[in-house]
Amino acid sequence: MKLDLSGRKALVTGAAQGIGRAIADGLAANGARVIYTDRDAAGAKAAADAATKHPQGHLAFALDVANRQSIADTAKAALDATGGAIDILINNAGIGVKAADRKPADQFPIASWDEMIAIDLTGVFLMTQAIAPAMRARKFGRIVNIASVLGLVPMRLQSSYVAAKAGVVNLTRSTALELAADGILVNGIAPGSTATAGWRSWIHNATSAELDLHARLLSHIPLARPAEPEEIARGALFLADPGNTYITGHILAIDGGWTAGFARDF
């Protein structure tokens, strides 16, 4: 996808690897100056250094979206470095439910629930609070929140994740309603299973039970394969582009048909 993002500044959370990095790299490849943020500060720096060059250079900051002080510090540094002119915010940072924690709601570990809600849901809310006022002041902004198909159609044994991502879906819509008058368009992406580097190393070392689970998962996807991170990034770029002037409050599923219906007969 070719866009003209020259002169635009974008901040991406969780940009050290995976989907966030693919989105950040896509923004950079289309001319934006990108602020790579991640709790993996070295990873964010390495990703920013490897991105398509920008005349002013990309930026990289440590950021833990579950830590209010970290958000305040990084938002200030990012806004100072850009003269308060962040055009695009991609709320991508997120975690999954560890295999050992996958239990029914009545047995689900509370610490695992709290960590998930703090990162995957409250992190999106707090980052929006930190950056949206500067967008309001300039009467321009594009915010893209990375949810999940599991925020639209839940799966068993992952109550923290399905609740957090469903929260992101409706938070995206309500934020779109609230910020529309100030020229800020807010949309979400619901990726299906995506073949990030983490996923590749997991599948490489997976036990036979995990491989079996994965085969069953793929059987539910009409396109019968996971997405590449760049396929998710393509949708995020489309929604983040200033050329998107009339889509707001929308959740774009990029899921190989996962949420279209049942991919197999009964």
Ligand X SMILES: NC(=O)c1ccc[n+]([C@@H]2O[C@H](COP(=O)([O-])OP(=O)(O)OC[C@H]3O[C@@H](n4cnc5c(N)ncnc54)[C@H](O)[C@@H]3O)[C@@H](O)[C@H]2O)c1
Catalytic positions are 161
Stretch that binds ligand X, among 53-61, 128-136, 189-197, 258-266 (CB under 6 A): 189-197
Distance of closest approach, residue 181 Cβ to ligand X, in angstroms: 28
- 172 is a contact residue toward ligand X (CB under 6 A): no
> Mask 117-156, x = binds ligand X (CB under 6 A)?
--x--------------------------x-x--------
> Alpha carbon 264 to chain centroid distance?
29
Q: Which residue, 141 or 235, is less far from ligand X as judged by CB?
A: 235
Which whole-number Å values give the CA distances from 159 to 62, 82, 91, 102, 168, in the listed order?
29, 39, 21, 8, 14
Site string for ligand X, 78-117 (x = CB under 6 A): --------------xxxx----------------------
- Number of residues lying near ligand X (CB under 6 A): 28
Phi first, then psi, for residue 89 (nearest 5°) are -120, 125
Q: Let me know how long the chain is.
A: 266
- Which of 153, 239, 238, 236 is CA-nearest to residue 192? 153
Q: Does 175 bind ligand X (CB under 6 A)?
A: no
C-beta of residue 251 within 8 angstroms of C-beta of residue 189: yes
Q: Nearest 5°: phi and psi at 96?
A: -105, 175
Give yes or no for residue 17 binding ligand X (CB under 6 A).
Answer: yes
Q: How far is the CB of 191 from ligand X (least distance, A)?
A: 4
Q: Which stretch binds ligand X (CB under 6 A): 128-136, 186-194, 209-217, 246-254?
A: 186-194
Residues 35-54, mask of contacts with ligand X (x by CB under 6 A): ---xxx--x-----------
What single string gives the DSSP state of each residue in 26-57? HHHHTT-EEEEEESSHHHHHHHHHHSPP-TT-
What six digits make up the tokens of 62? 């440590």
Contact status: 63 vs ligand X (CB under 6 A)? yes
193 binds ligand X (CB under 6 A): yes
Q: Interaction with ligand X in 241-260: which residues (CB under 6 A)?
A: none
- The interface with ligand X within residues 207-246 (CB under 6 A) comprises none
DSSP-derived secondary structure for 196-226:
-HHHHHHHHT--HHHHHHHHHHHTT-TT-SP
CB of 59 to ligand X, least distance (A): 15
Give the DSSP H or E segment for 142. Answer: strand 141-146
What distance in Å separates the CA atoms of residue 219 and residue 209, rounded to the nearest whole number? 15
**Contacts to ligand X by CB under 6 A:** 13-14, 16-20, 38-40, 43, 63-66, 92-95, 119, 146, 148, 191, 193-194, 196, 198-199
